[in-house]
Amino acid sequence: MTARERVAGTVANYVDERTGAAAWMKKNLNKVFPDHWSFLLGEIALYSFIILLLSGTFLTFWFDPSQREVIYDGDYQPLSGLKMSAAYASTLHISFEVRGGLLMRQIHHWAALLFMVAIVVHLLRVYFTGAFRKPREFNWIIGVGLLTLGIVEGFLGYSLPDDLLSGTGVRIAEAIIQALPVVGSYLAFFAFGGAFPGEAFIPRIYTVHVLLLPGIFLALITVHLMLVWYQKHTQYPGPGRTEKNVVGYPLFPVYMAKAGGFFFIVFGVIAFLSAVASINPIWLYGPYTPGQVSAGSQPDWYMGWLDGLVRMAPPLETHAFGHTISWNILIPGLILPGIMFTGLALYPFIEAWISGDKREHHILDRPRNVPNRTAIGAMALTFTIVALLNGGNDIIATTFSLTINQMMWFSRIGILVLPPIAFVITKRICLSLQRADRDLVLHGRETGTLVRMPSGEFVEIHEPISAEKAWTLTQHEQPVPLELPATDARGLKRPGAIKNKLRNRMSRAHAVAVPKVSAQDLKEIEHH
């Protein structure tokens, strides 16, 4: 044993005798994680957040969060001699005069976009596979909270440079705040430190952007990971996988090696995008002035759906008790998003209440086996996509030689008509896939080979599927009984008629699910 090894062993023993760290490390380093690519979506969000912290720290050394007026005399000659805020001038300084500044700005922006993409796709994976069910309801709420905070944080971040594009977005935000009845004007006056645009807004959102919200993010992400660690990871159905175990690889060394390598892959992709794809070229927009609006202005994609809702709202106002209520801003800008995010956060409890399912779940659902949930998700996605398309209605109209009115009426009609159509089509597809699975388990895979029977009848030969495939297709939750009695086994009264009706409807959606294969059937499949 070398001297270095003896010193390391002595230090390790010293720490272990005082903290008991060895037993804790041994237990947790052997913790098993399932191996599936979809579980990496959450890691992409985590790694993007780390890159955001590092790149944002770099930018704070040169950014001046002030709206005081200065005369620009930097390296970008087209804007030389113009009056602008110190925030905009310092952003130009970072872009053109700080070594690596423009690259770091773009890394920060691309990491923010990828962070939001990863959160959304991760939430979709959790939703469509039922990973939000007991005991993970609180983790789902934390995820929805991170999505909401991410939207706010992103908006504040691209508002900081105080260019014409970001200033237009801030002006829209002020209009949404003012749309609040009675208190809206006071809140806007407080936020901007006086009449718009004021001189206090950029310093205030800078503090929120670099201090308050990142601290909340760190706290929520920490709690989120602790819950995942404590509750164990969900896994897809497969041989040997039950509600009481996890099949996969240990944290050390397999999972840690994969996670470490994947971090550098995510960082490499972001750095490559930042090096070759320009984003948010603020020098082309110019400094913000309240009397100007940039043509073709578009927010980042995660705000585009909200902008689209505001754009498509008809001009409706109400004058009552000396106050004006602008419904065309209040409903799409505050009420509708509030309903959407509240419903999203409470969905695990709503589904459990309707289905009556109070059990713990660690095996994930196949989306086709839960057609109502999958159809609701498709309906919500269709609604959001229509609103997102309308957020770029001017760009789309120009590109495809359409008029704004055509885009507007398409979005107004489509946002009401297309989501129900998506619900029906998705549900029918799920039921059809269930029937296809049933035929595959019972009859085997079609081979395309025809055999003529002695009677003259032609019969296609079916190849039996493997026992593993049959197990995967058939291991899912049993449907709720179609008709619920008025009382339960204890003689207590069942829930009210509304809940009973909803539950029966949900159970009918599962009624054609693939039946579980008996042990004898599996033996016959294995024999083949």
Q: Match 């296609």 to its residue by tokens.
A: 460
Token pair in block for residue 293: 């609006």
Model confidence at 468: pLDDT above 80: no
Tell me what pLDDT residue 460 has.
Answer: 80
Which of helix, strand or coil describes residue 201? helix
- Side-chain-side CA neighbours of residue 104 (13 Å): 22
- pLDDT bucket at 32, cuts 50 / 70 / 90: confident
Task: Write out pLDDT tens, residues 198-255.
Answer: 788 899 999 999 999 999 999 999 999 999 888 888 888 877 788 888 888 887 777 7
Whether 508 shows a pLDDT value over 50: the answer reads no
**Which residue, chain included where needed, has tokens 């990491």?**
111
Do 364 and 246 touch, CB atoms closer than 8 A? Answer: no
The pLDDT of residue 505 is above 60 = no
Q: What residue ranges define each of the domains in the chain, with the CATH number in brackets?
A: 32-290 (1.20.810.10), 443-527 (no CATH)
In the predicted structure, residue 158 carries a pLDDT above the cut 80: yes
Per-residue DSSP letter, 249 = E
CA atoms within 13 A on the CB side of 189: 5
Residue 352: which of 450, 495, 469 has the closest Cα?
Answer: 495
Strands 317-320 vs 32-33: parallel, antiparallel or unpaired: unpaired
At residue 308, does pLDDT exceed 50?
yes
Which tens digit of pLDDT belongs to each residue from 379-402? Answer: 999 999 999 999 888 889 988 999
Cross-strand partners of 319:
324
Give yes or no for residue 491 having a pLDDT over 50: no
Angle in degrees, CA 457, 463, 466, rounded to 5:
155
Q: What is the per-residue pLDDT across 412-452, written as a single tens digit (0 to 9) for each?
A: 999 999 999 999 999 999 999 988 888 888 878 888 888 88
- Does residue 50 surpass a pLDDT of 70? yes
Q: Would you say 158 and 170 are in contact if contact means Cβ atoms under 8 Å apart?
A: no
The per-residue pLDDT for range 177-202, each reduced to its tens digit, is 888 888 888 888 888 888 787 788 89
| C-alpha distances out from residue 238 to 10, 348, 422, Å | 45, 24, 30
pTM for this model (two decimals): 0.84
CA distance 283 to 88: 9
Q: What angle do CA 132, 140, 382 make, to 5 degrees?
A: 80
For position 512, what pLDDT does the model report? 41
Q: How confident is the model at residue 458 (pLDDT cuts 50, 70, 90)?
A: confident
For residue 289, pLDDT beyond 50? yes
* Residue appearing with tokens 């000659």: 77
pLDDT above 90: residue 317 = no
- Cα separation, 479 vs 473, whole angstroms: 15
Per-residue 3-state assignment (H helix, E strand, C coil) for 45-111: HHHHHHHHHHHHHHHHCCCCCCCCEEECCCCCHHHCCCEEEHHHHHHHHHHHCCCCHHHHHHHHHHH
Minimum mean pLDDT among 78-92, 322-336, 472-486: which range?
472-486
Most confident among 7-11, 231-235, 522-526 (mean pLDDT): 231-235
Residue 329 is predicted with a pLDDT of: 87
Q: What angle do CA 264, 265, 267 make, to 5 degrees?
A: 60
Return d(Cα 301, Cα 253) in angstroms, integer. 38
Mode of pairing for the β-strands spanning 69-71 and 317-320 = unpaired
Q: How much of the chain exceeds pLDDT 70, in percent? A: 85
pLDDT at 474: 64
Cα 318 to Cα 326: distance, rounded to the nearest angstrom: 7
Confidence tier at 15 by pLDDT (50, 70, 90): confident
Q: What is the mean pLDDT of the chain?
A: 84
pLDDT band of residue 315 (cuts 50, 70, 90) is: confident
pLDDT at position 487, please? 46
CA distance 394 to 397: 5
Q: Which is more confident, 347 or 328? A: 347
